[in-house]
Chains A and B, each alone.
Chain A
Amino acid sequence: MATDTITNGTVSRARWQHLDTILATASPYADEDYVPGPNTVSALESSKILVIGAGGLGCELLKNLALSGFKDIHVIDMDTIDVSNLNRQFLFRQSDVGKSKAEVAAAFVEKRVPGVKITPYNGKIQDKDEEYYMQFKLIICGLDSIEARRWINSTLIDMVDESNPESLKPLIDGGTEGFKGQARVILPTLTSCIECQLSMHAPRAAVPLCTLATIPRQPQHCIEWAHIIAWPEQRKDDLLDMDDPEHVSWLYQKALTRAQEFNITGVTYAMTQGVVKNIIPAIASTNAIVAAACTNEALKLATDCAPFLSNYMMYTGDSESGLYTYTFEAEKKDDCPVCGQLAQNIAVDPVTTLEDFLGTLAERAEAQLKKPSIRTEGKSLYMRFPPGLEQSTRPNLSKKLEDLVSDGEEVGVSDPAFAIQFKFRLNFAK
């Protein structure tokens, strides 16, 4: 059996007594091919694993992986530590505020769990190429951004080469909101992917601009007005920074004044921050549940000691009955724009202008594309880049869809946030 060596001596294998017991005995639930014992332990120790995100989930993931026998862990995060992280991101202290999350988290766990190697990268996932991602056996995401999840999802799917089984990298994804969370396992190209499940995570409906501009009714409307209308009008030279207290105070005061004008009550500083930064409540306990549920699947995938999750677990800690989990198999979609073969059907009003249609792609649950460029098989309808093409396709924006495409025609939509092209079939609503 493997021995753990650390720079200043040897770590006794007795440390891993409980884990070894479980990996050395056969489970009635494990696959028939599972061979418990030293080989399983070595397989685990040689599984290089990548953790994306060193925040609420990431801190937990690093601790759990290190104490589950993983020895070679990499972690990516572009953020620095903020004071509002300290209520749950337990590897960080007040004195760490401002430092790189990935670096502080990696150093802490390496020190606490001798024998584990954690390699931090303080930057964006988009900085790395296929060669980088190819080195890992597994990838776990603990992210709060849907966009980053979609990017890694499409990248991993793109990497799959049928002639090389090593190119298939299982992706485990966790997410939380308040007392709720989810863990899911994705085998790129084989099972339902993040994009297939996108409509389960629909964006919040935006308040119409005319409500903000002329008929606000809620404190949130006044805050959005200050954010979207007042700031660009009155401080167009300043880049809004929600971490700058002066900026937040300004928005708050503007929103408050507007609210008083309309007799609306309830604008607070905390609400201003919440609305403008789109703050999602987050607590240590939910992160613990979701991160450990993800690590559990990583352990199973790396050792085969039990069947892994197929493929989605939803945890609800604030239900009327106390709590419940819903574990189910999300379906792979044939018309998934990332892992499917077919174009996705999308109903459109033929008299809508191209510009309005592109605007709706940001809000449609199944698309959520903020900067789309669009082309048919034969021609470019609207391209944001390069500038020359943008200029020549711009006149199409004001044209009606029926003047640009035929009913049922397939279009390709690309967005700078994603590596791939989305295929949609535009069906005219009758």
Chain B
Amino acid sequence: MAEVAPREVTPPPLQAPSAKERKYDRQLRLWAAAGQKALEESHVLLVVGNSSGSNSSVAGIETLKNLILPSIGHFTIADPATVTESDLGMNFFLEQTSLGKSRAEETTKYLRELNPDVEGHYIAKPLRQWLYQTDSLLQYNLILICAPLPLDHLQAFSSYALAQSIPLVYIKSSGFYFTASVQLPAEFPIVDTHPDPDTIQDLRLLAPWTELQAAEKELGDLTRLSDHDHGHVPWLLILLHYLEEWKQAHNSEYPSSFAEKKQFQSLVASKARTANPEGGEENFDEAVAAVLKSISPPSVGSGCREMFAMPSCTNLTQSSANFWVIANAIKQFYSKHSVLPLPGTLPDMKATSAGYIKLQIIYKNKARSDIAEVTDNVRKLEASLNRSASSPIANSEVEQFCKNASFVRVLTNPSNLPLPELRFLQSDTKTLSKLPVILTAYQTISEVFVALNVDAIPSDSLLELRQLVDEIEGCTLEERINKAIEEARRCEGSELHNTSSIAGGVIAQEAIKLLTRQYVPVDGVVIWDGIRAKTEIVKI
């Protein structure tokens, strides 16, 4: 016989943070447990090519430092060099006693001290002895390469990364300059892009559903409300209320032009009660302030539109990634309703507690029913695609996608283009022909990228660049290029610890975005100019 448990109030769980949550508290507030899990499951490979002379190894080491601290799972340093005096003046993760020993081994040892949660490995053999063996790169999901690297090796890494759909970053650091080129796989989808909270409000004031309309109707005649109630009507319902009034006076049309919206704003403002000690009402002030931002048809972000148009979204196969199955399910939803699933979040607004919570529930319920419909689409797709072999897509994954639908991004590298530096080395004419556009379109520090690649760019291409007519701040393009080249030359490839430390910060941020699949990573080349304290991103 089933026993009915007595109803009693269970004490709330203590929820005190674990030791791990305490240690990583400041970052969990950014990328949450899901991001942390992704980091902890990753294995980052750092490759240092040049065994002697100048290289950008410290930029790579500093990047690793900034990834070990937040706790990636594993890292491996592949570097055949032994430690020299000049390494000790640049690399913080070496000691006097490291002199003459394997740089990969010594650096790994001191980096590991940073975080006992992280596993560190090293490969001190020359690249040629291990790179070309079967599955030599299988365990890595991000590859960082410190320039320079011989062409054949660079090509091997680049092709492997493209074939395996993993990102790769090529790092050059010299004097006050560094560049980091990000090679993305053919498709790099991001669900949780962390859009600016001010831009994400989607409240559907111009497309209210039945329950929301009912909540507005329930208010009745606003003029008959008591002062207390009138001062606590949430601004959202105030706007819905006067939008109805507006429509009745304007052939059932909503205010659409800027002038009409301003007129509507004045209408709302005029309805506030002012015969009180405050001389107005906070909720009406909020309503007036919200008009321009909220009175517009529900929008679909450009990233989401692009996603809908992509072949991977329309042509699903049995092996399509979960992302594309959900994308297709959302596209079906959009085709049917002409709106995306409702995100369901409500900003704070002046209201009574009960009034606000009631409204919040209306939004949450609508979001839930939209998610249910998308989930239903997903299940049908799974069945029709015969995906019974793979485990069903988790409800939480569908929910997460629905909430972020408008801000989803898919970065693409449709022709599987390798790194621009590799294309320079191969004298790829199409790539070289884009340089003039880059230099004239990005009018700040793009010549730094040319200066750091001056040995790989054919001399006739360089000549052509110098002859371009362009001028900013009284400096011709030729002067800009010549100065940057002179600056790069005089440093003789010398790596400054400090520039490489900036590089390590910038590249680690990008690596975190690439590994967690949160935020939007750079798609192209990051250029840093420490003389002018500026960055630029170029895409070739």
A binds B: yes
- Residues of A near any B CB (own CB < 8 A): 12, 14-19, 21-22, 25-29, 60, 63-64, 67-68, 83-84, 86-88, 90, 93-94, 112-114, 178-179, 183, 211, 215-218, 245, 249, 252-253, 256, 262-264, 268-270, 273-274, 279-293, 295-297, 299, 306-307, 309, 313, 315, 317-325, 327
Q: Does B426 contact A (CB under 8 A)?
A: no
B487 touches which of A19, A28, A60, A179 (Cβ 8 Å)? A28
CB neighbours of B424 from chain A (8 A): none
CB neighbours of B534 from chain A (8 A): 313, 325, 327
Q: Does B95 contact A (CB under 8 A)?
A: yes
Bound CA–CA A16/B494 (angstroms): 10
Name 16 A/B residue pairs within 8 A (Cβ), A-sorted.
Answer: A64-B501, A84-B25, A84-B26, A87-B27, A87-B70, A178-B30, A211-B350, A245-B16, A253-B12, A262-B354, A283-B70, A284-B66, A286-B509, A288-B501, A295-B498, A323-B522
Bound CA–CA A12/B232 (angstroms): 74
B62 touches which of A112, A281, A288, A306 (Cβ 8 Å)? A288
CB neighbours of A63 from chain B (8 A): 92, 501
Q: Encode contact with A along B106-148: 1 for CB under 8 Å, 0 otherwise.
A: 0000000111100000000000000000000000000000000
Bound CA–CA A67/B497 (angstroms): 6
CB neighbours of A183 from chain B (8 A): 533
Q: Please tell me if the beta carbons of B357 and A18 are within 8 angstroms of each other in the complex.
A: no
Chain B: which residue is nearest A313 at the CB level?
Answer: B533
Q: Given known contacts A274-B29, A281-B27, A325-B535, is B89 in contact with A22 (CB within 8 Å)?
A: no
CB neighbours of A114 from chain B (8 A): 96
Q: Please tell me if the beta carbons of B85 and A15 are within 8 angstroms of each other in the complex.
A: yes
Q: Given known contacts A215-B351, A249-B14, A322-B510, is B535 in contact with A283 (CB within 8 Å)?
A: no
Q: Please tell me if the beta carbons of B352 and A321 are within 8 angstroms of each other in the complex.
A: no
Q: How far is the CB of B83 from chain A (nearest CB, A)?
A: 11
Q: Please tell me if the beta carbons of A179 and B499 are within 8 angstroms of each other in the complex.
A: no
Q: Please tell me if the beta carbons of B502 and A19 are within 8 angstroms of each other in the complex.
A: no
Q: Does B430 contact A (CB under 8 A)?
A: no
Q: Does B175 contact A (CB under 8 A)?
A: yes
- Residues of B near any A CB (own CB < 8 A): 12, 14-17, 19, 21-30, 54, 62, 65-66, 69-71, 84-86, 88-90, 92, 95-96, 113-116, 175-176, 193-195, 232, 348-354, 356-357, 482-483, 486-487, 490-492, 494-499, 501-502, 504-506, 508-510, 512, 519-524, 526, 530-535, 537
Q: How far is the CB of A58 from chain B (nearest CB, A)?
A: 14
A29 touches which of B495, B520, B531 (Cβ 8 Å)? B531
Bound CA–CA A383/B504 (angstroms): 51
Q: Please tell me if the beta carbons of B26 and A279 are within 8 angstroms of each other in the complex.
A: yes
CB neighbours of A318 from chain B (8 A): 194, 519-520
Q: Please tell me if the beta carbons of B508 and A67 are within 8 angstroms of each other in the complex.
A: no
Q: Please tell me if the beta carbons of A83 and B23 are within 8 angstroms of each other in the complex.
A: yes
Q: How far is the CB of B274 from chain A (nearest CB, A)?
A: 16
CB neighbours of B88 from chain A (8 A): 15
Chain A: which residue is nearest B26 at the CB level?
Answer: A282
CB neighbours of A217 from chain B (8 A): 348-349, 351, 353, 356-357
Q: Please tell me if the beta carbons of B533 and A327 are within 8 angstroms of each other in the complex.
A: yes
Chain A: which residue is nearest B63 at the CB level?
Answer: A285
Bound CA–CA A16/B502 (angstroms): 19
Q: Please tell me if the beta carbons of B92 and A112 are within 8 angstroms of each other in the complex.
A: yes
CB neighbours of A68 from chain B (8 A): 496-498
Q: Please tell me if the beta carbons of B16 and A249 are within 8 angstroms of each other in the complex.
A: yes
Q: Please tell me if the beta carbons of A323 and B86 are within 8 angstroms of each other in the complex.
A: no
Bound CA–CA A313/B533 (angstroms): 7
Bound CA–CA A319/B22 (angstroms): 28
A-B contact count (CB 8 A): 243
* Interface class of chain A by DSSP: mixed
Q: Given known contacts A14-B85, A112-B92, is B499 in contact with A296 (CB within 8 Å)?
A: yes
Q: How far is the CB of B91 from chain A (nearest CB, A)?
A: 8
Q: Please tell me if the beta carbons of A67 and B24 are within 8 angstroms of each other in the complex.
A: no
Q: Please tell me if the beta carbons of A269 and B16 are within 8 angstroms of each other in the complex.
A: yes
Q: How far is the CB of A151 from chain B (nearest CB, A)?
A: 25
Please name 19 further chain A to chain B contacts, defined as beta carbons within 8 Å, in addition to the given A83-B23, A293-B533, sorted by A numbering: A12-B85, A15-B88, A18-B89, A22-B491, A67-B498, A87-B24, A94-B116, A269-B14, A269-B15, A283-B30, A285-B505, A285-B506, A288-B504, A288-B505, A292-B499, A313-B534, A322-B537, A323-B510, A324-B537
Q: Which of A64, A249, A280, A323 has the most chain B CB within a 10 Å cutoff? A: A323
Q: Please tell me if the beta carbons of A292 and B89 are within 8 angstroms of each other in the complex.
A: no
Q: Which of B175, B501, B505 has the most chain A CB within a 10 Å cutoff? A: B505
Q: How far is the CB of B473 from chain A (nearest CB, A)?
A: 13
Bound CA–CA A18/B23 (angstroms): 37
Q: How far is the CB of B335 from chain A (nearest CB, A)?
A: 26
Bound CA–CA A68/B495 (angstroms): 11
Chain A: which residue is nearest B347 at the CB level?
Answer: A218
Q: Given known contacts A17-B89, A60-B501, is B522 in contact with A322 (CB within 8 Å)?
A: yes
Q: Please tell me if the beta carbons of B232 and A215 are within 8 angstroms of each other in the complex.
A: yes
Q: Given known contacts A15-B86, A18-B496, A215-B353, is B532 in contact with A327 (CB within 8 Å)?
A: yes
Q: Which of B62, B86, B486, B509 has the most chain A CB within a 10 Å cutoff? A: B509
Q: Please tell me if the beta carbons of A322 and B505 are within 8 angstroms of each other in the complex.
A: no
B86 touches which of A18, A216, A284 (Cβ 8 Å)? A18
Bound CA–CA A320/B407 (angstroms): 10
Q: Please tell me if the beta carbons of A292 and B16 are within 8 angstroms of each other in the complex.
A: no
Q: Given known contacts A21-B491, A84-B25, is B502 in contact with A288 (CB within 8 Å)?
A: yes
B69 touches which of A67, A88, A253, A322 (Cβ 8 Å)? A88
Q: Please tell me if the beta carbons of A22 and B175 are within 8 angstroms of each other in the complex.
A: yes
Q: Please tell me if the beta carbons of A288 and B508 are within 8 angstroms of each other in the complex.
A: yes
Q: How far is the CB of B352 from chain A (nearest CB, A)?
A: 5
Q: Please tell me if the beta carbons of A268 and B15 are within 8 angstroms of each other in the complex.
A: yes
CB neighbours of A324 from chain B (8 A): 535, 537
Chain A: which residue is nearest B348 at the CB level?
Answer: A218
In the A-B complex, the 4 residue pairs with the smallest Cβ-Cβ separation, listed nearest first, are: A288-B505, A322-B522, A289-B505, A18-B494
CB neighbours of B12 from chain A (8 A): 253, 256
Q: How far is the CB of A138 from chain B (nearest CB, A)?
A: 15
CB neighbours of A90 from chain B (8 A): 65, 69, 114
CB neighbours of A269 from chain B (8 A): 14-17
